[in-house]
Chain A
Amino acid sequence: MSEKTEPDVKNSANGSAKPTSPNADLKSEFAAFLDYAPAPESSEDAEIKQRYHHFINGTFTEPVKQRYFKSINPATEEVLSEFAEGTSEDVDAAVKAARRAYDKVWSKLSGKERGKYIFRIARMIQERSKELAIVESMDGGKPIRESRDVDVPLAAAYFFYYAGWADKLKYAFPGKTPESIGVCGQIIPWNFPLLMLSWKIAPALAAGNTVVLKPAETTPLTALKFAEICRDAGLPDGVVNIVTGAGQTGAAIVDHPDVNKIAFTGSTEVGKIIQKSLAGTAKKYTLELGGKGPNIVYEDAPLDQAVEGVINAIFFNQGHVCCAGSRLFVQEGIADELIEKLKARMESLIVGDPLDKNTDIGAINSKMQFEKIEKYIQIGKNEGAEFYQTTCDLPKNGYFCRPTLFTGVSQSNRVVQEEIFGPVLTIQTFRTPQEAIEKANNTPYGLASGVWTDKGSKIFETGKAVRSGVMWSNTYNKFDPTSPFGGYKESGIGREGGLHGLYPYVNLEH
């Protein structure tokens, strides 16, 4: 797609028209000797039922109203399976089960025994890792390399990490006695379905709470596989309950009077609605919301490393990452060279079948998200930004988006201010570190940021001045169960992961 292409529905950002990028020659040069043979992972290893029910009180339970919704494989646009649509009746049953389990079993169990259950779960995720990775990619569209090497192993690691805390909580809160809270309502997004589940459930259980969790409506499959794991691990009935559904199901959890704590990961827009609906209640809450991560490259940065980092920052998981480095700031002196290298590297990215081990960028998670990204690409063009997209082939079916750049953007452009949640990067230049920092901080968000330089003192100065919960220096998009994650400002409240990730799940008594 040429940067000069007029807005046109047929020639839309991801249309099937053959691209004619000015960089097309880069591609041919590259692809001539580097054409990968397809290496698809077999989906036979993944058993997917035609229909899934809620998991309530240790049992797969049909929804009271008997309504189901379909989940689509975004890479093929085919129906993958059907899931129960949770109503307030289902949520109520799940909360009651969680309350019973909390009162009768889980709160009475010693930390040591709780921990052993969580360790079991961690092990069983490892044992079923291949299957989990495949269904994660089929349900959500992410490349198998990522679900296999990042999502699933990290999910297991979070359970391992928090399992160990269960009988050591008193060491986490000096001077205080931590006590469990009760029933936790947890609502997770579609970008890292199993991983987000682990961020939520592992610390909640370790701290002695029981859980009602709602996975996102486009990616509920691994949560129900996880329910099987809970059952197989012998986890007492009702300790973990999974209710599937869309926004209304989530609202029923948030509004339920017998829920003691809400944990939500998702958009800032929905986070604000949740925060408002919790007003005047005694419920605790943590919010992990949107971002518009600044990624600052100083002119003394190791350029090739920085290019790799920029690619990873924005194109990891199709850009469906709340902490994505979606705003690149390049110091003027190296801007031309970096952008040229960046375009060349982007040309080598393979967009396609999520199950193919060669794929770098999989399918956009849903039609809705695909349309949102397209809308933003159009907005960026209309705002007069310079548009660039790579020339790679896209599969005929499914929702795919080529890696996209906007240069010549200004701070007030919507594509610079608003979270797109797709493989779309904006590039701005700067002269002084102060200018970069000021621009970096000039959004309502503050989740994550990146800085690239060879100079340590510059890293610390920038790291201190940029207001964000995570500062990746000379790296980006790294996650670990020991490492706290969460936002400043409108990117959220509270931290998940690490010792700090235990706070939201305890009451501290003197």
Chain B
Amino acid sequence: MSNRIPVLKTYKTYVGGKFPRSESGKTYPVKNSKNETIAHACRCTRKDVRDAVLAAKSAFPGWQNRTAYNRGQILYRMAEMLEGRKSQFVEELALAGGKEKQAAKEVEAAIDRFIYYAGWTDKIAQVFGTINPVASSHFNFSSPEPTGIVAILSPENHPLLSVVSLVAPVIAGGNSCVLLAPESNPLPAVSLGEVLLSSDLPGGVVNILSGYHSEMAGNLSSHMDVNAVFNSSDDHSLRKLIDENASISVKRVKHYTPEDWHSHTVEDPYLIQEFMEIKTTWHPVGM
């Protein structure tokens, strides 16, 4: 053991492809399982939520218009980048008190999850789109398109795997998103921003905020530019708040609390479709 003093990492947020600190200037302590403080994370508030939604809104048209092939390439690149930084994430998960073996298993599952959704980007329209044999002389087809800007509330368990499992289907379909990182341990989620930035994912497609969900969820779910909410918290009163806020602008809401984030059932193309709109196009047929 050398006497070198290790360099500690300052955890910030990931918004619009940059790593700003919270506008509030506040942080909160992140504790490990022994209740020891392992880092300080940004305690984001309303203003950060607004900035993040704005970043997501600016990024949406560009990301939506990328080819499905290109989106798949970028999701695959995320897996590559995460694989390359595997040890960093294992350490970060272990730091919070997890067993190293479990942590490694979680990181590997997260990498594989990116691969899984990378492969869906150019198939989703084939599996969920239709050509409709209408009883008139029209050509008619239906194809899924991204819903828009999705707010994602992550759960408290599996702070890396859950976040990847929630973000990947949303961006695979061409949406942009604002993620509220797991409150008790936002560190892997915030570090994931570094992976995303180095994967050619355009800035603003994924925006990651840390802080107390109770201080952000209300603003995020009532924001008029948010089109959908993907909630993984099982807190009933938070769910109700999200549902009620969603009704202000008819947002789509998906509450999703799988029992086991490692399960293959979490790999699900229907989760991509949850955040897509079916558009049906008609055109006359005739000479």
Interface residues of A (CB under 8 A from B): 157, 174-176, 268, 271-273, 275-276, 278-280, 287, 289, 444, 459, 463-464, 467-475, 478, 480, 482-486, 488-493, 495, 498-500, 508, 510
- A500: chain B residues at CB < 8 Å are 130, 142, 278
State which of B8-16, B49-57, B131-139, B154-162 sits at the interface with chain A: B131-139
Question: Would A473 and B135 be within 8 Å (CB), given that A271-B250, A279-B243, A500-B278 are in contact?
Answer: no
Cα distance, A485 to B244, chains bound together (Å): 25
- A473: chain B residues at CB < 8 Å are 281-283
Q: Would A174 and B127 count as touching, CB distance under 8 A?
A: yes
B284 sits at the interface (CB 8 A): yes
CB within 8 A of B279: which of A276, A470, A475?
Answer: A470
B240-270 interface code vs A (CB 8 A; 1 in, 0 out): 1001101111101000000000000100011
Cα distance, A280 to B253, chains bound together (Å): 11
CB within 8 A of B132: which of A289, A484, A508?
Answer: A484
Question: Shortest beta-carbon distance, A325 to chain B, in Å?
Answer: 13
Chain B interface extent, by class: 35 or more
CB within 8 A of A287: which of B135, B248, B250, B270?
Answer: B250
- B148: chain A residues at CB < 8 Å are 467, 489
Q: Would B138 and A478 count as touching, CB distance under 8 A?
A: yes
Question: Would A275 and B246 be within 8 Å (CB), given that A176-B270, A280-B239, A508-B270 are in contact?
Answer: yes
B36 sits at the interface (CB 8 A): no
Question: Would A483 and B280 be within 8 Å (CB), given that A478-B136, A493-B250 are in contact?
Answer: yes
B215 sits at the interface (CB 8 A): no
Question: Shortest beta-carbon distance, A454 to chain B, in Å?
Answer: 12
Q: Would A280 and B236 count as touching, CB distance under 8 A?
A: yes
B73 sits at the interface (CB 8 A): no
Q: Would B250 and A483 count as touching, CB distance under 8 A?
A: no
Q: Would B277 and A459 count as touching, CB distance under 8 A?
A: no
Question: Can you name the residue of chain A whose Cβ is closest to the Cβ of B245?
Answer: A279
B75-91 residues at the A interface, CB under 8 angstroms: none
B111-162 residues at the A interface, CB under 8 angstroms: 127, 130, 132-136, 138, 140, 142, 145, 147-148
Question: Would A279 and B227 be within 8 Å (CB), given that A473-B282, A475-B138, A478-B282 are in contact?
Answer: no
Q: Would A480 and B140 count as touching, CB distance under 8 A?
A: yes
Question: Shortest beta-carbon distance, A497 to chain B, in Å?
Answer: 8
Question: Shortest beta-carbon distance, A474 to chain B, in Å?
Answer: 6
Contact count A vs B, C-beta below 8 Å = 111
- A493: chain B residues at CB < 8 Å are 250, 252
Q: Would B279 and A468 count as touching, CB distance under 8 A?
A: yes
Please indicate which of the listed interface residues A280, A289, A492 has the most CB atoms of chain B within 10 Å of its own CB. Answer: A280
- A272: chain B residues at CB < 8 Å are 247-248, 250
Question: Can you name the residue of chain B whose Cβ is closest to the Cβ of A280?
Answer: B240
- A176: chain B residues at CB < 8 Å are 270
Q: Would B130 and A499 count as touching, CB distance under 8 A?
A: yes
B213-252 residues at the A interface, CB under 8 angstroms: 227, 236, 239-240, 243-244, 246-250, 252
Q: Would A157 and B135 count as touching, CB distance under 8 A?
A: yes
- A474: chain B residues at CB < 8 Å are 283-284
Question: Shortest beta-carbon distance, A268 to chain B, in Å?
Answer: 7
Q: Would A275 and B279 count as touching, CB distance under 8 A?
A: no
Cα distance, A232 to B140, chains bound together (Å): 35
Question: Would A483 and B282 be within 8 Å (CB), given that A157-B135, A478-B134, A498-B132 are in contact?
Answer: yes
CB within 8 A of A488: which of B133, B135, B269, B277?
Answer: B277
Question: Shortest beta-carbon distance, B153 to chain A, in Å?
Answer: 15
Cα distance, A268 to B249, chains bound together (Å): 9
Instruction: Offer 27 A-B interface pairs, CB within 8 angstroms, sorted by A.
Output: A174-B127, A271-B250, A275-B246, A275-B250, A276-B244, A279-B246, A279-B247, A289-B250, A463-B279, A464-B145, A468-B279, A469-B280, A473-B282, A473-B283, A480-B132, A480-B140, A482-B133, A483-B134, A483-B140, A483-B280, A486-B278, A488-B147, A490-B249, A490-B250, A492-B250, A500-B142, A508-B270
Q: Would A470 and B250 count as touching, CB distance under 8 A?
A: no
Give the 9 A-B residue pairs with the shortest CB-CB distance, closest first: A279-B243, A280-B240, A275-B247, A480-B134, A276-B247, A482-B132, A279-B244, A490-B250, A471-B281
Q: Would B265 and A489 count as touching, CB distance under 8 A?
A: no
Cα distance, A275 to B242, chains bound together (Å): 11
Q: Would A484 and B280 count as touching, CB distance under 8 A?
A: yes
- A470: chain B residues at CB < 8 Å are 279-282
Question: Would A510 and B133 be within 8 Å (CB), given that A475-B138, A478-B282, A483-B140 are in contact?
Answer: no
Q: Would A482 and B140 count as touching, CB distance under 8 A?
A: yes
Cα distance, A71 to B59, chains bound together (Å): 52
Cα distance, A114 to B64, chains bound together (Å): 41
Given contacts A473-B282, A480-B135, A484-B278, 19 further A-B contacts (CB under 8 A): A268-B250, A276-B244, A467-B148, A467-B277, A469-B277, A469-B280, A470-B282, A475-B282, A480-B132, A480-B134, A480-B136, A483-B142, A483-B280, A484-B132, A489-B249, A490-B249, A498-B132, A498-B142, A500-B278
B181-211 residues at the A interface, CB under 8 angstroms: none
Question: Shortest beta-carbon distance, A349 to chain B, in Å?
Answer: 22
Q: Would A469 and B132 count as touching, CB distance under 8 A?
A: no
- B134: chain A residues at CB < 8 Å are 478, 480, 482-483
- B270: chain A residues at CB < 8 Å are 176, 508
Question: Can you name the residue of chain A whose Cβ is closest to the Cβ of B224?
Answer: A444
- B244: chain A residues at CB < 8 Å are 276, 279-280
Q: Would B282 and A278 count as touching, CB distance under 8 A?
A: no
Cα distance, A176 to B271, chains bound together (Å): 13
- B280: chain A residues at CB < 8 Å are 469-471, 483-485, 498
Question: Shortest beta-carbon distance, B255 to chain A, in Å?
Answer: 9
- B227: chain A residues at CB < 8 Å are 489
Question: Can you name the residue of chain B whose Cβ is closest to the Cβ of A509?
Answer: B265
- B145: chain A residues at CB < 8 Å are 464, 467
- A444: chain B residues at CB < 8 Å are 249
Q: Would B132 and A175 count as touching, CB distance under 8 A?
A: no
Question: Would A475 and B278 be within 8 Å (CB), given that A271-B250, A275-B250, A499-B130 are in contact?
Answer: no
Question: Would A471 and B127 be within 8 Å (CB), given that A280-B236, A488-B277, A490-B249 are in contact?
Answer: no
